[in-house]
Amino acid sequence: MRTVCIVGVGLSNWGEVWKESFRDLHTSAALKAIESAGVDHLDSLYVGCMSGGLFVGQEHLASLLTDYMGMRGLPATRVESACASGGMAIRSAFIEVASGISDIVMASGVEKMTDVDGDEATYALATAADQEFEVFHGATFPGLYAMMAHAHMAKYGTTRDMLSKVSVKNHNNGSMNPDAQYPFKVSMEQVAKSVMVADPLHILDCSPITDGAAAVIVCSEDVAKSLGKPYVKIIGSGIGTDTIQLAQREDITTIKAATLAANAAFKMSGKTIDDIDFCEVHDCFTIAEIIIAESIGKYAPGAAGPAILNGETTLEGSFPINTSGGLKSKGHPVGATGVAQVIEVYKQLTGQAEGERQLKSSPKIGMTQNMGGSGGSSVVHIMEVA
């Protein structure tokens, strides 16, 4: 298996982007990634998109997006695994380059979520849950994660302050990210007193609805070296799945798919969680960050909340989490999120994170964890400085 690298990255505008279409967002991110890498061609494209059909009425992305990139004829594949679609696109590109089939592959993700009203967006997102046994009975993702939060609180004593601290930390990081949808700080009191969505989760515990695209250039190390640009190596990649329905899981205070994905990535890389310097995780809700930090093995069950409250996961802490601002502050265009996580790790490892977000510890190994729905699928990547 060949060594696989990330050598160029690009983000479109993120947020409520009224003046750019679905195809415009993707083209913007894709062309920025190509320019960043300095490549003169691509061998193929994998694009992550959860639900273009429901959000903007657009499927058949392979044809549409290669056309608007000015690359008609380029082999292209749309990848879907709910909110893990972007991470799965990275995984697909990684496999193609590692196998030797291609030398230069783009992995991208895109979603245009604000062209529909709130009810339609809720419907589209709910397709990532169990339609017969959850959605039919009125369950939405805030409700599902609220149940996970209550279970975690009951079993481990997780508190309101622990949830709030996740939001405060991530908004602080996002306030220094020029690409963040919500680049402002919040206080513990503001989080706890914000509008209730699904007890115990308030609006400031929830990631937003976002328009946006992200793209990276995945290539062989020989190509990366020849380009003369900063690059990082993907040394581990893992995926895992679990039941889509919460009621069928053995324990809803952990996310088994994330554990399986992390363990597979650790095995491939020859690393352990103790070798990881920082991590981008899928904080679609504040409770998700707490549960994932435990599920990937960094903290024992019930120990992540106190660690977060004590500052261990801040920019200055022993294990920074979501230096980008995470889904909470940076935004969550579901098909693009997993790719954007990889972009943040690339920036941190190559010393290109903007402003005071750049970790002073000179990190050598970073990790991303992206997941679909309430944790029915998950993908993990481990990257190392070249």
Active site residues: 83, 332
Q: Give the phi and the psi of residue 98 in degrees, each rounded to 5.
A: -60, -35
> Token match 């040394």: residue?
235
Burial 185-200 (b: 16+ CB within 10 A, else e): ebeeeebbebeebbeb
Q: Look at residue 83 and give its three-state secondary structure.
A: strand
Q: Which residues contact 16 (CB under 8 A, 6 or more apart)?
A: 114, 210, 211
Tokens of 75: 């082999």
Report the distance separating Cα 103 and Cα 52, nearest Å.
28
Query: What is d(CA 296, CA 288) in angstroms, rounded to the nearest whole number?
Result: 12
- C-beta of residue 89 within 8 angstroms of C-beta of residue 370: no
Residues in the chain: 386
- The answer to whether 328 and 186 have CB atoms below 8 angstroms apart is no
Where b means 16+ CB within 10 Å and e means fewer, 79-112 reads bbbbbbbbbbbbbbbbbbbbeeebbbbbbbbbbb
Q: What sign has the CA pseudo-torsion 173, 179, 185, 191?
A: negative
Taking the C-alpha atoms of residue 93 and residue 70, their distance in angstroms, rounded to an integer, is 20
Q: Which two tokens stand for residue 132?
A: 């017969």
In angstroms, the CA 22 to CA 270 distance is 39
Joined together, the tokens standing for residue 182 give 């919500």
